[in-house]
């Protein structure tokens, strides 16, 4: 009864839990596998459709990728809330761009070695008058949306400026956001060697929440329009915050159905341990039976008699065991007269009567003797075995 009540209570908790509104996960994952608001599943899927066979996901660092594929040419796309590749990976990526390739990098802030290489600096703005919302757009008339793009969640507006107020050669403004009525650069193109580096300070344009809002997908497509469709596009999928969360347990947690199955499995095991475990009998210890030492003892006694040359004693023991055999196995009364006894033994054992008579004559000789030889003992044993049918 208690078990039934427990199961009903668990069922009620499951129904109540499923009926509650699920809490939205606003973790800035940017992972291409996540469908949460700040995952980039839609951006990744759309990019695969746009670039087709030229789309190449990269699941290792730029250093490892370009060392393994030195022949790679095209555009490298990388985005996250914050990007810090490190000296080795960054230098590998910049050298690749120098050779005539392109890099699109979107992040709220960039590592200082990259900014120094491009002679740029960052400046951060928070637009309080619009409740921290960012209003931005592309500057190209062909790509520019008719309505300003608004990101209605708290975010920092990062501006890219020339370092030391000196003009940077080969820089081109691609997009901007408004701050206190003035445009601020948040999407620029900088020449680097024979290639181009495009820096974008609003990585949230790659998230599911942004793309599904109003007509924001037009802005996203506008950013991708700067990528050459005829060359390979290497899409970095390992730098994102949520890229490392790919274990089996993490997958279970992110899927409510699997999560509840896991919970029920755990509860079921707990109930089994509590109720079923008590009914099991404790382990019965193994009792080793005493070892039969009869044969060993008999052999020891026999060896002792032989060593002391007690041949008559050995013969008497043979006679005693034979008479016991006649009583218990042949069921013949040994107190009968000798002619009657030999006749019954011959009949029961189906042996020649003369063999039985010879055996009993030898037995009489041994009983009347005080000392006999080993050969006599052996003859006695042979005759007894012939009666018993032992070869």
Single out the residue of 93, 85, 79, 86 nearest to residue 44, CA to CA. 79
DSSP E strands, 222-332: 233-236
Cα(6)–Cα(311) distance, rounded to whole angstroms?
83
pLDDT at residue 293 in the model = 62
Evaluate if residue 295 carries a pLDDT over 90. Answer: no
pLDDT at residue 146 in the model = 81
Cα(329)–Cα(336) distance, rounded to whole angstroms?
16
Q: Work out how many domains the chain is built from and give that number.
A: 3
Evaluate if residue 45 carries a pLDDT over 90. Answer: yes
pLDDT at residue 59 in the model = 93
Low-confidence winner among 29-33, 218-222, 276-280, 378-382 (lowest mean pLDDT): 276-280
- Residue span of the structural domain in which 213 resides: 28-243
Of 259, 282, 305, the residue at which a domain comes to its end is: 282
In terms of domains, do 145 and 266 share one?
A: no
Mean pLDDT, rounded, for 240-267: 67
In terms of domains, do 236 and 105 share one?
A: yes
Residue 16's φ and ψ, nearest 5 degrees, are -65, -40
pLDDT at residue 226 in the model = 95
With residues binned 3-state (H G I as helix, E B as strand, rest as coil), the percentages for the chain, rounded to 5, are 50, 15, 35
Band (194; pLDDT cuts 50, 70, 90): very high
In terms of domains, do 124 and 212 share one?
A: yes
Cα(112)–Cα(250) distance, rounded to whole angstroms?
33
Evaluate if residue 255 carries a pLDDT over 90. Answer: no
Strand 75-79 and strand 134-138: pairing?
unpaired
Cα(275)–Cα(289) distance, rounded to whole angstroms?
36
Evaluate if residue 168 carries a pLDDT over 80. Answer: no
Mean pLDDT, rounded, for 261-285: 72
The residue that leads in pLDDT, 279 or 224, is: 224
Evaluate if residue 391 carries a pLDDT over 70. Answer: no
In terms of domains, do 113 and 236 share one?
A: yes
Evaluate if residue 361 carries a pLDDT over 70. Answer: yes
Q: What is the pLDDT of residues 126-166, one digit of tens each?
A: 655 555 678 889 999 999 888 888 888 877 788 888 877 55
In terms of domains, do 309 and 331 share one?
A: yes
Structural domain contains residue 19: no
The residue that leads in pLDDT, 271 or 28, is: 28
pLDDT at residue 370 in the model = 84
pLDDT at residue 52 in the model = 94
Q: What is the pLDDT of residues 48-89, one digit of tens each?
A: 999 999 999 999 999 999 999 999 999 999 999 999 999 999
pLDDT at residue 356 in the model = 86
Q: What is the pLDDT of residues 300-329, one digit of tens each?
A: 655 556 666 677 888 888 888 888 988 898
Strand 75-79 and strand 157-162: pairing?
unpaired
Residues 6+ apart with CB under 8 A from 330: 344, 345, 348, 349
Q: Check which CATH number belongs to the domain holding 93 and give it.
A: 3.40.50
Structural domain contains residue 7: no
Instruction: Kindly report the average pLDDT of the chain as a whole number.
Output: 83
Structural domain contains residue 220: yes
């Amino acid at each position: 009864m208690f078990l039934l009540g427990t199961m009903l209570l668990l069922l009620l908790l499951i129904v109540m839990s499923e009926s509650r509104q699920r809490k939205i996960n606003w973790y800035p994952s940017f992972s291409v596998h996540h469908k949460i608001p700040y995952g980039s599943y839609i951006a990744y899927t759309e990019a695969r459709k746009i670039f087709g066979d030229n789309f190449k996901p990269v699941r290792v660092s730029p250093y490892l990728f370009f060392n393994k594929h030195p022949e790679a040419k095209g555009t490298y796309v990388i985005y996250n809330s914050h990007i810090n590749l490190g000296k080795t990976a960054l230098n590998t990526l910049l050298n690749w761009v120098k050779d005539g390739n392109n890099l699109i990098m979107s992040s709220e802030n960039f590592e200082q070695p990259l900014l120094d290489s491009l002679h740029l600096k960052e400046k951060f703005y928070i637009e309080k008058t619009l409740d921290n919302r960012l209003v931005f757009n592309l500057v190209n008339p062909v790509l520019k949306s008719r309505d300003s793009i608004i990101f209605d969640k708290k975010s920092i507006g990062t501006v890219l400026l020339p370092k030391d107020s000196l003009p940077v050669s080969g820089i081109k403004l691609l997009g901007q956001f408004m701050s206190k009525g003035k445009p601020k650069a948040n999407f620029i193109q900088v020449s680097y060697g024979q290639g181009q580096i495009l820096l974008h300070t609003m990585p949230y344009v790659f998230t599911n929440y942004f793309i599904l809002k109003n007509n924001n997908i037009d802005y996203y497509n506008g950013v991708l329009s700067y990528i050459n469709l005829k060359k390979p596009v290497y899409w970095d999928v390992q730098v994102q915050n949520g890229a490392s969360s790919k274990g089996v347990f993490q997958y279970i947690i992110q899927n409510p159905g699997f999560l509840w199955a896991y919970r029920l499995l755990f509860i079921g095991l707990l109930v089994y341990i509590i109720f079923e475990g008590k009914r099991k009998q404790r382990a019965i210890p193994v009792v080793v039976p005493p070892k039969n030492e009869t044969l060993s003892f008999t052999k020891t006694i026999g060896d002792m008699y032989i060593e002391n040359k007690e041949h008559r004693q050995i013969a008497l023991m043979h006679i005693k065991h034979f008479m016991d055999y006649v009583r218990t196995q042949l069921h013949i009364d040994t107190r009968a007269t000798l002619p009657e006894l030999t006749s019954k033994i011959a009949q029961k054992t189906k042996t020649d009567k003369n063999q039985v008579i010879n055996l009993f004559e030898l037995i009489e000789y041994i009983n009347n003797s005080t000392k006999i030889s080993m050969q006599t003992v052996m003859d006695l044993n042979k005759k007894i075995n012939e009666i018993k049918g032992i070869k």
